[in-house]
């Protein structure tokens, strides 16, 4: 069972994560599968999870690729060694964000890029380059921030 790290002063949540090495791949794919199970459990009420949120400082996130909050036909995927390739100049600030690691913190709005293009690796070490927009883009950006030691409260609109 995964333990969620909490608190805005938690040093693990404020750490920039390291890439996963090839010799560590299987270990972190296994962890990623546990993270997906956690997110898919409706009792946990999450749409994304990053490794630092469970005490691991490696570049792994799992995200639900929602088109809207009413979307019932979405995939939840694992992204390893994720990096931004391109971000749109157009931004959005219309999706209220919260965080599993800050359960007692008020939700709020963050300026996010409307579209992002990413490179990541799947569990089979296959490189993927994909573009995301809308809600999925916001979820991914939120989780990538975690990999860089940034919490949504650092970017809240005042």
Q: Which two tokens stand for residue 147?
A: 């990999």
In degrees, rounded to 5, the angle at the alpha carbon of residue 18 between the alpha carbons of residues 12 and 19 is 140
DSSP tally for the chain: helices H, then strands E: 2, 9
Whether 90 is catalytic is no
Of the candidates 5, 86, 127, 143, the residue annotated as catalytic is: 143
Q: Which two tokens stand for residue 42?
A: 């409706």
Active site residue ranges: 143
């Amino acid at each position: 069972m995964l333990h969620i790290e909490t608190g805005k002063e938690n040093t693990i949540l404020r750490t920039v994560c390291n890439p996963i090495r090839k010799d560590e791949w299987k270990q972190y794919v296994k962890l990623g599968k546990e993270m997906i199970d956690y997110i898919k459990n409706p009792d946990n009420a999450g749409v994304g999870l990053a490794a630092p949120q469970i005490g691991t400082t490696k570049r792994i996130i799992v995200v639900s690729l929602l088109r809207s909050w009413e979307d019932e036909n979405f995939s939840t995927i694992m992204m390893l060694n994720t990096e931004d390739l391109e971000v749109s100049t157009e931004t959005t600030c219309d999706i209220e964000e919260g965080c599993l690691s800050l359960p007692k913190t008020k939700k709020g709005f963050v300026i996010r890029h409307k579209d992002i293009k990413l490179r990541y690796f799947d569990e089979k070490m296959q490189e993927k380059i994909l573009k995301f927009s809308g809600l999925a883009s916001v979820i991914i950006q939120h989780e990538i921030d975690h990999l860089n030691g940034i919490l949504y409260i650092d970017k809240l609109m005042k």
